[in-house]
Amino acid sequence: MERIEQHACFGGRQEVWRHASAVLGCDMRVGVFLPSAALRGESCPVLYWLSGLTCTEQNFITKAGAQAHAERHGLILVAPDTSPRGADVADDPAYDLGQGAGFYLNATQAPWAAHYRMQDYVAEELPGLIERHFPASSARSIAGHSMGGHGALVTALRHPGRYRSVSAFSPIVAPSQVPWGRKAFAAYLGDDPAAWTRWDAVELIRAASPADHLPMLVDQGLDDEFLDEQLRTDLFEAACLEAGYMATVRRHAGYDHSYYFIASFIGEHVAFHAAELRG
Amino acid sequence: MERIEQHACFGGRQEVWRHASAVLGCDMRVGVFLPSAALRGESCPVLYWLSGLTCTEQNFITKAGAQAHAERHGLILVAPDTSPRGADVADDPAYDLGQGAGFYLNATQAPWAAHYRMQDYVAEELPGLIERHFPASSARSIAGHSMGGHGALVTALRHPGRYRSVSAFSPIVAPSQVPWGRKAFAAYLGDDPAAWTRWDAVELIRAASPADHLPMLVDQGLDDEFLDEQLRTDLFEAACLEAGYMATVRRHAGYDHSYYFIASFIGEHVAFHAAELRG
């Protein structure tokens, strides 16, 4: 791993690292915030953040203001890129497919299957790297926004016991049922919807064993321009109710899909995870 | 004035407005954060923020996290662009001259004099617009970063009584003596250094009447890559000491020139200004 940025930040340090990913078959960049406790060598829990469509590792670390809260709670923040990258990685001119739009799944279809294994990257390879290279404990939580909210929910639900808690801002909760998800899933996973259910939070909520339920927080802005067509918080709430899954779903009047919404409530999300990670 | 963005943010609202500037002879964009008190119609004091080289009205509003603090203290935040803009506005291919590099002065030299009157814009036209269109009181403070730190110091020092307080992150304090400033001043003001002194914070500190001294806070990171060549905090401190100007100058080990530094201490700057604006 090679450090390519480092900035003092709220008493800790925001870093950006580049590393070769064996899983993805390309170089990847990842933002790592180390609170002062970690800089002193203390073992700290880790909160993973998955970003949305078109984002890189930069958006969350420059816009969310999460570092102030992570410093207060002594959490490491890890913010990876949203897809494999590079000239030899398959891509598409649309913003919602290919590079910048990995959807945190393992693709099975050509030309995507060669590199697009973001699920294995975020759930396995990346935590392994982080726990070897930084003073990180194995206490992990995961959060994300929009496509990354989908990614956080799906990753946590697919790996019982691996995360202490999960949260999402404005997540795509039912990708099998909305245009963004149907387009991506058809390309990455093929046309058989039976292959989609293991990558769909609403389906995974329905299938979850009660013993595996974990603390879950979802925040959604009511002025979000994507709410009705792409996000469908209502389907998530209905699935939780039906399954007896005690997720906390909050709606916020006036808030939209932007980082202004994330910044406004990221402090509560970090505190929510810290209570599970340090409690 | 036309509103081109609005986002709920920390209980208030981050807006971006476009308006025709008579002073600059072009359309300008400006970020305006309205705390919830202003949204309820209460008259609120205003903190102006001047950004650095290459920035637009977007950098501060997306990266600094100042809105949380402005909401807490009930301040309006106003963040203008850094120069006149447009196809008919003089420009230069370098990042440190022309569009994005107005240096908050009134140019006297061709081809710049036609549009580059940023001092009159930030000190007169813009406050006039803000105080007519928003529930803004006439209590004003001003702050900025780098070129905008120069702008904040110079604007406050040139207009005794107009601002309650001034602060700066990583300011260019002695533009007459450093490469960024000498290049810009030669272009905008001509080769006679006598014309430069009224745009140089160190010179203005020396010339200030003690009755006009105002609360002043300067923060500087010691790992700032521009400190020794362009910023020269030492010259500012020496001028303050010689003039008996009681500015607070703080040095921060490890911090660089980036928005990570600004985000880390903007809360203290907003509180510093709020004490003067609401005290």
Is A224 labeled as catalytic in the residue annotation? yes
Per-residue model confidence as pLDDT tens digits over B150-164: 999 999 999 999 999
Residue A42 has pLDDT above 80, yes or no: yes
User: Which of B67, B68, B260 comes nearest A9 by C-beta?
Assistant: B260
**Residues of chain B contacting residue A263, judged by C-beta atoms under 8 Å apart:** 9-10, 65, 67-68
Taking CA atoms, what residue in A is nearest to B252? A8
Q: What is the pLDDT of residue A140?
A: 98
Residue type, A241: L
The answer to whether B63 contacts A67, with C-beta atoms less than 8 Å apart, is no
Phi-psi category of residue A166: left, alpha or beta, with phi > 0 → left and psi -120 to 50 → alpha: beta
- Distance, in Å, from the CA atom of A131 to the CA atom of A45, rounded to the nearest integer, reads 10
pLDDT, mean over chain A: 98
Per-residue model confidence as pLDDT tens digits over A231-274: 999 999 999 999 999 999 999 999 999 999 999 999 999 999 99
The answer to whether A68 contacts B263, with C-beta atoms less than 8 Å apart, is yes
- Distance, in Å, from the CA atom of B11 to the CA atom of B132, rounded to the nearest integer, reads 23
Q: Which two tokens stand for residue B71?
A: 């909401």
Q: How far is B51 from chain A (nearest CA, A)?
A: 16
Per-residue model confidence as pLDDT tens digits over B110-163: 999 999 999 999 999 999 999 999 999 999 999 999 999 999 999 999 999 999
Per-residue model confidence as pLDDT tens digits over A71-123: 999 999 999 999 999 999 999 999 999 999 999 999 999 999 999 999 999 99
**Residues of chain A contacting residue B254, judged by C-beta atoms under 8 Å apart:** 8, 13
Residue B279 has pLDDT above 90, yes or no: no
- Residue A258, chain B, CB below 8 Å: the answer is yes
Per-residue model confidence as pLDDT tens digits over A184-221: 999 999 999 999 999 999 999 999 999 999 999 999 99
Question: One of A73, A145, A150, A257 is an active-site residue; which one?
Answer: A257
Q: What is the pLDDT of residue B222?
A: 98
What is the average per-residue pLDDT within B8-14?
A: 98
Q: What is the pLDDT of residue B269?
A: 98
The answer to whether B8 contacts A256, with C-beta atoms less than 8 Å apart, is yes
Per-residue model confidence as pLDDT tens digits over A7-20: 999 999 999 999 99
End-to-end Cα, chain A, rounded Å: 31
pLDDT, mean over chain B: 98
Question: For the stretch B138-149, what's the b/e string if a residue is b when 16 or more beta carbons lie within 10 angstroms of its beta carbon?
Answer: ebbbbbbbbbbb
- Residue B268, chain A, CB below 8 Å: the answer is no
Residue B13: domain span: 2-277
Per-residue model confidence as pLDDT tens digits over B210-244: 999 999 999 999 999 999 999 999 999 999 999 99
- Residue B10, chain A, CB below 8 Å: the answer is yes
**Residues of chain B contacting residue A260, judged by C-beta atoms under 8 Å apart:** 7-9, 14, 67
- Residue B163, chain A, CB below 8 Å: the answer is no
What is the average per-residue pLDDT within A171-176?
A: 98
Q: What is the pLDDT of residue B64?
A: 98
- Residue B60, chain A, CB below 8 Å: the answer is no
- Residue A221, chain B, CB below 8 Å: the answer is yes
Taking CA atoms, what residue in A is nearest to B6? A256
Q: Which two tokens stand for residue B198?
A: 């009224």
The answer to whether A254 contacts B223, with C-beta atoms less than 8 Å apart, is no
Taking CA atoms, what residue in A is nearest to B261? A9
Contacts of B40 (CB under 8 A, 6+ apart): none
Q: What is the pLDDT of residue A94?
A: 97
Question: For the stretch B68-86, what's the b/e string if a residue is b when 16 or more beta carbons lie within 10 angstroms of its beta carbon?
Answer: bbbbebbbbbbbbbbbbbe
User: Which of A8, A11, A261 comes nearest B223 by C-beta?
Assistant: A8
- Distance, in Å, from the CA atom of B141 to the CA atom of B277, rounded to the nearest integer, reads 7
The answer to whether A255 contacts B8, with C-beta atoms less than 8 Å apart, is yes
End-to-end Cα, chain B, rounded Å: 31
Nearest in space to B18 (alpha carbons), one of B9, B27, B10: B27
Nearest in space to B254 (alpha carbons), one of B222, B226, B232, B227: B222
- Residue A261, chain B, CB below 8 Å: the answer is yes
Residue type, B161: G
Nearest in space to B118 (alpha carbons), one of B33, B61, B67, B51: B51
Contacts of B10 (CB under 8 A, 6+ apart): A263, A264, B67, B68, B71
Residues 228 through 257 of chain B touching chain A, CB cutoff 8 Å: 252-256
Size of interface A-B (CB pairs under 8 A): 67
| CATH number of the domain bearing residue B41 | 3.40.50.1820
Q: Please give the ipTM for the structure prediction.
A: 0.93
In this prediction, residue A52 has a pLDDT band, given cuts at 50, 70 and 90, of very high
Q: What is the pLDDT of residue A279?
A: 77
Residue A277 has pLDDT above 90, yes or no: yes
- Distance, in Å, from the CA atom of B168 to the CA atom of B237, rounded to the nearest integer, reads 13
The answer to whether B8 contacts A261, with C-beta atoms less than 8 Å apart, is yes
Is A146 labeled as catalytic in the residue annotation? yes
- Residue B63, chain A, CB below 8 Å: the answer is yes
Per-residue model confidence as pLDDT tens digits over B46-70: 999 999 999 999 999 999 999 999 9
Pairing relation of β-strands B12-21 and B2-9? antiparallel
- Residue A278, chain B, CB below 8 Å: the answer is no
Domain count, chain A: 1
- Distance, in Å, from the CA atom of A221 to the CA atom of B88, rounded to the nearest integer, reads 41
User: Which of B65, B223, B253 comes nearest A65 by C-beta?
Assistant: B65
- Residue B106, chain A, CB below 8 Å: the answer is no
Question: One of A81, A91, A219, A224 is an active-site residue; which one?
Answer: A224
